[in-house]
């Protein structure tokens, strides 16, 4: 059951293959349980965000990124990777970042490096609950609520964290869930995890706020298809209500999905820090009226 506590989740196991030349791929064609109280969701679109001049006063923007930084327990140089990943996120001016495969020493390094950001769940959910971390820019958003969903990961019950944040300028809120589902041949665990994540997404949608689900789902398309079938969430990489899950030519396990916002500037960045690219996108939440 979802709980409102504070801390994070476990790590995956992926082969190390670091690129040496940073590259960016962009596109407009791809990309536990809770009490579910749903309302009819507002329509979701991925058309470019309106110009500043056209934006109503109570609309607001969010910069999102997700990055599997490759755990220190899997490959050497983890602290260095964490520091580089933290600086990269700061350079991107992310409002909210989701990190996967975060070891204890890497979390300490990111907390030292990312001044102006707070983290959840840090180490509050135990050793196996700290591999997934959410970080948010305190000057732009205020933390309102934290929680997590327990699900299976490599034979253990581990948490998927989520947070509710409030935009400081408008006072309007949104949800972010950070995901890392089991890798490789653990299909049954992924299916159970996806069902629990969908249940929590529905509960968050019931509060009539934007919902963003981002992370390493370890599936090329199945996760997105299941989520889009059950909720109004679409891929931030060009998804629409009619075609919610476009898969890029070199589609990988990392996804960014959302609802009740307009998405633009999706990018898959091969920055050479980890064996995963970092994904980024902008979300514009239109005027409430």
Q: Is 200 part of any domain? A: yes
Share in percent of the chain as helix, strand, coil (round to 5):
20, 35, 45
Cis peptide before 121, with omega less than 30 degrees from 0? yes
Spatial distance between the Cα atoms of 247 and 240, rounded to a whole number of angstroms: 13
pTM here is 0.80
Q: Is 120 part of any domain? A: yes
Q: Is 12 part of any domain? A: no
Lowest mean pLDDT segment, chosen from 115-119, 147-151, 204-208: 204-208
Q: Is 19 part of any domain? A: no
Give strand pairing partners of 100: 68
Spatial distance between the Cα atoms of 11 and 3, rounded to a whole number of angstroms: 21
pLDDT range class, residue 171, cuts 50, 70, 90: very high
Spatial distance between the Cα atoms of 55 and 82, rounded to a whole number of angstroms: 36
Q: Is 21 part of any domain? A: no
> Domain range for residue 251?
26-49+58-285
List the alpha helices (DSSP H) in 161-269. Answer: 187-205, 222-230
Segment 28-54, tens digit of pLDDT: 333 333 433 333 344 444 445 555 455
Indicate if the pLDDT at residue 275 is higher than 50: yes
Give the model's pLDDT for residue 14.
Answer: 33
Stretch 154-163: mean pLDDT, rounded?
Answer: 94
Q: Is 139 part of any domain? A: yes
Indicate if the pLDDT at residue 22 is higher than 50: no
In the sheet with 60-68, reading across from the earlier edge strand, the strands are: 23-26, 262-270, 278-285, 60-68, 96-100, 133-137, 117-120
How many domains does the chain divide into? Answer: 1
For the domain that residue 251 is a member of, what is the CATH number? 3.60.10.10
Angle at 84 between CA 80 and CA 85, to 5 degrees: 115
Q: Is 3 part of any domain? A: no
Q: Is 280 part of any domain? A: yes
């Amino acid at each position: 059951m979802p709980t409102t506590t504070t801390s994070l989740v476990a790590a995956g196991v992926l082969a190390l293959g670091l690129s040496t030349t940073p590259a960016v791929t962009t596109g407009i064609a791809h990309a536990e349980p809770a009490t579910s109280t749903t309302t009819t969701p507002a329509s979701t679109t991925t058309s470019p965000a309106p110009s500043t001049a056209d934006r109503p006063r109570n609309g607001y923007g969010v910069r999102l990124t997700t990055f599997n930084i490759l755990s220190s327990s899997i490959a050497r140089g983890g602290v260095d990777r964490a520091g580089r990943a933290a600086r990269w996120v700061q350079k991107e001016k992310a409002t909210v970042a989701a990190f996967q495969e975060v070891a204890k020493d890497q979390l300490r390094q990111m907390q030292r490096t990312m001044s102006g950001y707070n983290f959840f769940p840090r180490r509050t959910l135990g050793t196996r609950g700290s591999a997934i971390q959410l970080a948010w820019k305190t000057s732009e958003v205020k933390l309102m609520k934290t929680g997590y969903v327990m699900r299976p990961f490599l034979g253990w019950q581990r948490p998927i964290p989520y947070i509710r944040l409030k935009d400081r300028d408008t006072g309007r809120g949104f949800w972010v869930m950070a995901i890392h589902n089991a890798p490789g041949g653990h299909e049954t665990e992924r299916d159970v995890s996806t069902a629990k994540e969908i249940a929590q997404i529905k509960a968050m949608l019931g509060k009539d706020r934007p919902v963003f689900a981002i992370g390493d789902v370890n599936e090329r398309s199945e996760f997105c298809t299941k989520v889009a079938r059950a909720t109004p969430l679409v891929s931030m990489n060009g998804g629409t209500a009619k075609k919610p899950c476009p898969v890029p030519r070199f589609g990988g396990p990392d996804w960014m999905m959302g609802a009740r916002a307009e998405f633009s500037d999706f990018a898959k960045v091969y920055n050479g820090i980890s064996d995963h690219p970092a994904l980024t996108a902008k979300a514009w939440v239109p005027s409430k009226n």
